Amino acid sequence: MADSVAYSPDAQTVMVIDRWDNMRIIDCRMVGSNEPTEWSLREESLKLSSDGGSDSVYQAIFNHVGDMVFLAKEDGQLAMVEYPSLKLWHSFGAHVAQCYTIALDPRGRYLASGGADGFVNFFETTEFIATRTVPTIE
């Protein structure tokens, strides 16, 4: 079951994450091929917690360049991993409860996140500092 699906900016890759935090990376250049068995499918695990804590990923999106993936996590963290290596680059607390969803503004200047704490937080993408917090209606 797919929980999160995201296209890369060049539309050549689709990243799928299931509820067990398995990532499947599909090379879309092969989708139109007459031989679907040649499609490139790469599977990875997104176990990012080093302390044994909760590390489920709710959503993943690419940055506008396609060399970084942002992850909304169950522990309230926003994690950034390099792509395609999936090496953890940076992680920070975005919410006091689960971080459910994330979106990058069209200019790539701000990253918005929504969480179980009822807030939408806006982070600028050079220093990843929260610039605004907006309470939402439950």
Q: What is the pTM of this model?
A: 0.84
Q: What is the pLDDT of residues 51-69, one digit of tens each?
A: 555 578 899 999 999 999 9
pLDDT digits (tens, 9 = 90+) for 110-131: 999 999 999 999 999 999 999 9
**11: Cβ contacts below 8 Å, ≥ 6 apart:** 28
**How many other C-beta atoms can be found within 10 angstroms of the C-beta atom of residue 135?**
9
C-alpha distances out from residue 128 to 19, 74, 79, 88, Å? 27, 19, 11, 15
Domains in the chain: ranges and CATH: 2-135 (2.130.10.10)
